[in-house]
Structure 1
Amino acid sequence: MTKLPSTAKAVIIGGGIIGCSTAYHLAKLGWTDTVLLERKKLTSGTTFHAAGLVGQLRSNANITQLLGYSVDLYNKIEEETGLGTGWKMNGGLRLACNEERWTEVKRQATTAHSFGLPMELLTPQEAQELWPLMDISDVVGAAFLPTDGQANPSDITQALAKGARMAGARIFEDTKVTDIEIENGKIRAVITEDGRIECEKVICCAGQWTRTFAQRFGVNVPLVPMEHQFMVTEPIEGVTSTLPTLRDPDRLTYYKEEVGGLVMGGYEPNPIPWAVDGIPRGFHYSLLDSNFDHFEQLMELSLGRVPALETAGIKMLTNGPESFTPDGNFIVGEAPELRNFFVGAGFNAFGIAAGGGAGMALAEWVHKGEPPFDLWSADIRRFGRPHFDTDWIRTRTVEAYGKHYTMAWPYEENNSGRPCRKSPLYDILASQGACFGEKLGWERPNWFADTARGESPKDDYSFGRQNWFEAVGREHKAAREAAVLFDQTSFAKFAMKGPDATSALSWICANDIDKPVGSLIYTQMLNDHGGIECDLTVARVALDEFYIVTGTGFATHDFDWISRNIPKGMNCQLFDITSSNAVLSLMGPNARMILEQVTRDDVSNDGFKFGTIRTIGIAGCPVQALRVTYVGELGWELHLPVEYAQTVYQALMRAGEEHGLVNAGYRAIESLRLEKGYRAWGSDIGPDHTPFEAGLGWAVKLRKAIDFKGRAAAEKQKAEGVKKMLACFTVDPSVILLGRETIYRNGERVGWLTSGGFGYTVDKSIGYGYVRHPDGVDADFVTSGEFELEVATERVPCAVTLHPLYDPKMERVKS
Structure 2
Amino acid sequence: MSKPLPEKANVVILGGGIIGASTLYHLAKSGVENCVLLERDQFSCGTTWHAAGLTSRMRESASQSRLVQYTCDLFKSLEAETGQATGVREQGTLYIATNEVRYEALRRSASASQHMGVKVDALDLDGVMSRWPLLNPEGVHGGIYIHGSGSVNPIDATMALVKGARLHGGQAFEKTTVDDILTHKGRVVGVKTDRGEIACDTVLLAGGLWSHKIAKKLGVALPLYSAEHYYIVTESVPNLDPTLPVLGSPDESAYFKEDAGKLLVGFFEPKAKAWPPRGQDIPTEFSFSELPFDFEHLEPQLEQAFSRVPVLNEVGIQLMFCGPESFTSDSRAVMGPAAEVQGLYIASGFNSHGILSSGGAGKMMADWIRDGLPSQGMASTHSHRLMPFQANTRYMQERVTESLGFNMTLHWPGHQLKTARNIRHMPVHDRLIDAGAVMGERAGWEIPLYYDKPGATLPHKPSLGYQEWFPKVAAECEAARDKAVLVDQSCYGKLLICGPDAVAALNHLSANEMDVPVGRSVYTHWLNPRGGIEADIVLMRMAEEEFLLITGPGSQVRDRCWFNANKPAGLNAQCIDVTAQYGMFSMSGPASREILESLTDEDVSKASLPFGHARLMDIGMGRAWVLRRSFMGELGYEIFPTGDLCRHVYDALFEAGASKGLVNAGFFALMTSRVEKGFVHFGHDISEDDTPLEAGLRFAVNFDKDSFIGREVLEQQRDAGPIENRIVHLHVPGASLENGPYLYRNEPIWRGDELVGYVTSGAWGFRMGACLGMASVKNAGGVTADWLAESGFEVEVAGTRYPVELKFGGFYDPKSERMRA
Q: TM-score range by the shorter chain?
A: over 0.9
Match of 2:379 in 1: 376
Q: CA deviation at 1:430?
A: 1.3
**2:295 aligned partner:** 292
User: Secondary structure of the residue that 1:777 maps to in structure 2?
Assistant: coil
**DSSP-derived class of the 1:257 partner:** strand
In structure 1, the residue matched to 2:58 is 57
Deviations 1:500-542 (A, max 9, x none): 1111111111111101111111111111111110011111111
Distance 1:160 1:131 in 2: 33
CA shift, 1:457, in A, is 4.3
Aligned to 2:796: 790
Give, in whole Å, the separation in 1 of the partners of 2:779 and 2:54. 34
Tell me if 1:388 matches 2:396.
Answer: no
Deviations 1:247-275 (A, max 9, x none): 01121110111110010011112211111
- 2:421 pairs with 1:418: yes
Q: What is aligned with 1:74?
A: 75
* Residue 727 (str. 1) matches residue 728 (str. 2): yes
The amino acid that maps onto 1:769 is: A
- State the match for 1:738 in structure 2: 744
| CA distance in 2: counterparts of 1:297 and 1:726, whole angstroms | 47
Match of 1:625 in 2: 626
Q: Could you tell which deviates more after superposition, 36-45 or 215-224?
A: 215-224
Shift of the alpha carbon at 1:193? 1.1
For residue 377 of structure 1, give the secondary structure of its aligned residue in structure 2: helix
1:201-240 equivalences under 5 Å are: 201-240=202-241
Write out aligned runs for 1:111-122 (5 A). 111-122=112-123
Cα deviation, residue 19, structure 1: 0.6
Structure 2, gaps ≥5 residues long: none
The answer as to 2:370 corresponding to 1:354 is no
Q: C-alpha distance in 2, partners of 1:188/1:671?
A: 48
Partner SS for 2:274: coil
Query: What does residue 313 of structure 1 align with?
Result: 316
TM-score under structure 1 length normalisation: 0.97
Matching of residue 339 in structure 1 with residue 342 in structure 2: yes
The answer on whether the counterparts of 1:746 and 1:785 sit within 8 Å (CA) in structure 2 is no
| Pair 1:812–1:771, CA change in 2 (3 A) | closer
Distance, in Å, in 2 between the alignment partners of 1:542 and 1:641 is 17
Question: Aligned to 1:582, what secondary structure does the other structure show?
Answer: coil
> Could you say what secondary structure the match of 1:553 adopts?
coil
Displacement of 1:341 after TM fit?
Answer: 0.9
1:165-180 pair list within 5 angstroms: 165-180=166-181
Contact 1:497 1:574 (8 Å CA) reproduced: yes
* Alignment-derived partner of residue 684 in structure 1: 685
Q: Aligned-pair distance for 1:180?
A: 2.0
Residues in 2 aligned to 1:752 and 1:5: alpha-carbon distance in whole angstroms: 50
| CA displacement, residues 472-514 of structure 1 (integer Å, 9 cap, x when unaligned) | 1111111111111111111111111111111111111111110
TM-score (ref. length: structure 2): 0.96
Amino acid at match of 1:25: H
Q: Given that residues 433 and 457 in structure 1 are in contact (C-alpha distance below 8 angstroms), is that contact kept between their aligned partners in structure 2?
A: no
The separation in 2 between residues aligned to 1:159 and 1:306, in whole angstroms, is 34
- Aligned-partner residue type, residue 709 of structure 1: I
SS in 1 for 2:129: helix
Q: Is the 8 A contact 2:186 2:340 kept in 1?
A: no
Segments of 5+ residues of structure 1 without an aligned counterpart are none
Distance 1:426 1:178 in 2: 43
Residue of 378, 400, 403 corresponding to 2:406:
403
Q: In structure 2, the residue corresponding to 1:757 is in which secondary structure?
A: strand
CA–CA distance in structure 1, aligned partners of residues 499 and 815 of structure 2: 41
- SS of aligned partner of 1:598: coil
In the alignment, is the contact (CA less than 8 A) between 1:133 and 1:238 conserved in 2?
no
Q: Match for 1:113: what amino acid? A: Q
In structure 2, distance between residues paired with 1:635 and 1:266 = 50
Task: Note if contact 1:16-1:45 (Cα within 8 Å) is conserved in structure 2.
Answer: yes
Distance, in Å, in 1 between the alignment partners of 2:817 and 2:768 is 10
Alpha-carbon distance in structure 2 between the residues aligned to 1:220 and 1:385: 5
**In structure 2, what is the Cα distance between the partners aligned to 1:201 and 1:782?**
48
**How has the CA–CA distance of structure 1 residues 808 and 802 changed in structure 2, closer, same or farther, with 3 Å as cutoff?**
closer
What fraction of aligned residue pairs are identical, expressed as a percent? 39
Q: What code does the residue aligned with 1:717 have?
A: Q
CA distance in structure 1 between the partners assigned to 2:133 and 2:457 by the alignment: 46
Deviation, structure 1 residue 311: 2.1
Tell me if structure 1 keeps the 8 A contact 2:480–2:588. yes
When residues 62 and 808 of structure 1 are mapped into structure 2, their CA distance, relative to the original with a 3 A threshold, is closer
Q: CA RMSD in A?
A: 1.7
| Map of 2:715 onto structure 1 | 715
Q: Match for residue 186 of structure 2?
A: 185
Is the Cα–Cα contact under 8 Å of residues 124 and 141 in structure 1 kept in the other structure?
yes
Contact 1:223 1:325 in 2 (8 A): yes
* Offset of residue 774 of structure 1: 5.0
Structure 1 residue 15, shift from structure 2 partner: 0.6
Aligned pair count reads 810
Change (3 A) 1:689 1:137: same
- CA deviations 1:24-47 (Å, max 9, x no partner) are 111111013211111111011211
1:138 Cα deviation after fit: 2.0
Tell me the distance in 2 between the aligned counterparts of 1:401 and 1:40.
26
Give yes or no for contact 1:265–1:298 (8 Å, CA) kept in 2. no
1:775 offset after TM fit, Å?
Answer: 5.5
Residue 132 of structure 1 corresponds to which residue in structure 2?
Answer: 133
Structure 1 residues 668 and 196, CA gap change in structure 2 (3 angstroms): same
Deviates more, 1:787-796 or 1:177-186: 177-186
Q: Secondary structure at the match of 2:446?
A: strand
Cα shift at 1:450: 5.0
C-alpha spacing 1:450/1:196, structure 2 compared with 1 (3 Å): closer
Q: Distance in 2 between matches of 1:101 and 1:736?
A: 15
* 1:664 CA drift (Å): 0.9
